[in-house]
Structure 1
Amino acid sequence: MSPAIGKLLAQRILLGLFLILLSSLLIFAGTQMLPGDVAQAILGQSATPEALANLRAELGLNTPIYQRYLSWLINLLHGDLGTSLTNGQNIAAAIGRRLSNTLLMAGVAAAISVPLAISLGLISVLYRNRWPDKLISAVTLASISVPEFMLSYILVFYFAVKFGLAPSVAMINPHMSLLDRLHAIALPVAVLVLVVLAHMMRMTRAALLNVMQSAYIETAELNGLGRLKIIWRHAMPNAVAPIVNVVMLNMAYLIVGVVVVEVVFVYPGMGQYLVDHVSKRDVPVVQACGIIFAGVYIFLNMLADVCSILANPRLRHPK
């Protein structure tokens, strides 16, 4: 590894850690500035002033906000996400179950959407300005233009209600087999694939077309190489950096931005868990979900930067 790569990697990692720390501060401050009283929300409107005062002291709401933040941050660094205010359950254990469900759905959607988007991008470049390119662009742009909830209801109406090919509610449990789980999450996975497919495909197409205008591509064409071989062997390696960036951004969306899809399909994932406890004003759960979402998003963006740095030949082979 060259010194330039090592320096850039260290800068990206330190920047990622700083952003996570800044995100934790913003998340904690944002939840503390929410209107209303947590103790009042837990005990109800009929609670006595003595009971409210005792609960506030028990929850540590009487201590200064900076002390509460430092205590929460220290517990977070030790893997302690706290206890839910509504049911008294350990948040880390509950999130572990929910996060595995979200990762399952996001992983299946990524396994389908990434190779499909890259393949469609290659086909669009191979048949540029011809009917395959125009058809792919029209379909993908139409899918990304429809809101997620509307796309979800359209798929539910046709594939669940009208044809009965998939369940309208994506309920899974630990006792189900892998095939049963895949069948249960077929519709939410299809929605996620349609949402992220267009962005990745368009970026793949744009990156390849930009590289195809280079002089060495013209040289390869003059040497008689086929167009597909030129794209795959010469254009793709030099267009990989922006493609990796957009793929990682969409992978982050598949994990962080699935709240709407999970709510529509009543899927027991992180998004549904967050929405349920926001309505109950369960601040520790909201804080835990927020920092996990922020950490995943920052980590995947940092990973995209690292992959782009490692894919740069000028950094890998300095003069």
Structure 2
Amino acid sequence: MGKAIGRFVLKRLGLAVLTLFLLSIVVFAGCMVLPGNVARAILGPFADQRAVDALNHQLGADRPALSLYWEWITKLLHGDMGTSYTFRAPVAPFVRDALVNSLKLAALAFVIVVPLSILGGIVAALFAGRWPDKLISLTSLSLTVIPEFVSSIALLLIFAIWLRWLPLSASFPADAGALTQIYYLLLPCLPLVIVLFGYFARMTRAGVVEAMASDYTRTAILKGLPRRTVIIRHVLRNALLPTITVIASQTSYLIGGLVVVEGLFRYQGIGSLILTAARGKDFPMLQGGILTIGALFIAAVLIADLIFLLVNPRTRTSLR
């Protein structure tokens, strides 16, 4: 069994490396086809054309695409993300600081939405077909289709402008403690909670309903086990397995899909960094940010597969 799990992990790691390689090609090609001139974006629309050409040559933007990609990927393999065109400084510190900020926001949203949505899905499944189920299902479905910018604006109006309970901006002071940071990040994390609650709650409900109708659940009930024991030991252990994969796949969204939220709340995260780099034609910054998000997504999916493998005996049996 240990060898089978080892082969499984090695296979997934190989696929992860291949995926990252293909992603690097797609990201680089996407940057190359972006409209506009790199030096012109840096120097401004009124800069002399000779200065623009000289800066393009200095940055290497006038070199063949294949040569640029080889130089970029070679440096990346040695831990060097390149030098920012805009800031004339290494990209890695900017990506690291922005990623830390996004992780703080994502972690707070994660801590709120996961237990809340799992609880909602369990309650909806236990009262399937009755008013709690209909209320939770309708609410979760409705929240899922609301775009982040709509919910963000509505929450800003209600809690920051009308009620003045929470700050308008998510930019907390540099010396802020943990509680102060949570206070500033609570409002921007709510749009993420609203969107993800529907996905997680509906997946949990579907898994619990299926588990409740299974043979092993009926057998446990016929043996006279208490309902609470049946739900905790038999139903939830199997029902939450698909939810683990869904939660892991959405982890990258919490980190990288924050462009709208970070922009509205003036928060310097990885999504805001990527958007700024795209507008300024800062290709090394853009490539480093997107590839970092891709690596996090692949890592989250790999961790979800390993958790699924560990908690589901049938999956381990299939590896033999």
Give the TM bin, normalised by the shorter chain. over 0.9
The alpha carbon displacement at 1:42 in A equals 2.3
Deviations 1:104-131 (A, max 9, x none): 0100111111111112222122222222
- Tell me which moved more, 191-200 or 301-310: 301-310
Deviations 1:279-309 (A, max 9, x none): 2221111111111111111221222222222
Q: Which amino acid aligns with 2:12?
A: R
Aligned positions, number: 319
Q: Which residue of 2 aligns with 1:297?
A: 297
Q: Which residue of 2 aligns with 1:165?
A: 165
In 2: Cα distance, 1:65 partner to 1:3 partner: 43
The alpha carbon displacement at 1:75 in A equals 1.3
- Tell me which moved more, 24-33 or 58-67: 58-67
In 2: Cα distance, 1:42 partner to 1:125 partner: 56
Q: Which residue of 1 aligns with 2:111?
A: 111
- Tell me which moved more, 37-46 or 289-298: 37-46
The alpha carbon displacement at 1:246 in A equals 0.7
Aligned pairs (5 A) from 1:301-316? 301-316=301-316
In 1: Cα distance, 2:153 partner to 2:260 partner: 12
The alpha carbon displacement at 1:259 in A equals 1.1
The alpha carbon displacement at 1:227 in A equals 2.9
The alpha carbon displacement at 1:226 in A equals 3.0
In 1: Cα distance, 2:117 partner to 2:49 partner: 59
The alpha carbon displacement at 1:315 in A equals 4.1
Q: TM-score, normalized by length of structure 1? A: 0.94
- 2:1 matches 1:10: no
Gaps of 5+ in 1: none
In 2: Cα distance, 1:47 partner to 1:152 partner: 38
In 2: Cα distance, 1:133 partner to 1:7 partner: 42
Q: Which residue of 2 aligns with 1:238?
A: 238
Regions of 4+ moved over 6 Å: none
Q: Which residue of 2 aligns with 1:99?
A: 99
- 2:193 matches 1:175: no
In 1: Cα distance, 2:50 partner to 2:258 partner: 42
The alpha carbon displacement at 1:64 in A equals 2.4
Q: Which residue of 2 aligns with 1:287?
A: 287
The alpha carbon displacement at 1:49 in A equals 4.5
- Please report the RMSD computed on the Cα atoms of aligned residues, expressed in angstroms: 1.8
The alpha carbon displacement at 1:66 in A equals 1.5
Q: Which residue of 2 aligns with 1:34?
A: 34
Q: Which amino acid aligns with 2:59?
A: L
Q: Is the 8 A contact 1:126 1:227 kept in 2?
A: no
Q: Which residue of 2 aligns with 1:263?
A: 263
In 2: Cα distance, 1:51 partner to 1:88 partner: 17
Q: Which residue of 1 aligns with 2:87?
A: 87
- Tell me which moved more, 31-40 or 257-266: 31-40
The alpha carbon displacement at 1:145 in A equals 1.9
With over 3 angstroms needed to count, the CA separation of the structure-2 counterparts of 1:124 and 1:228, relative to structure 1, is farther
- 2:276 matches 1:276: yes
Q: TM-score, normalized by length of structure 2? A: 0.93
In 2: Cα distance, 1:45 partner to 1:135 partner: 55
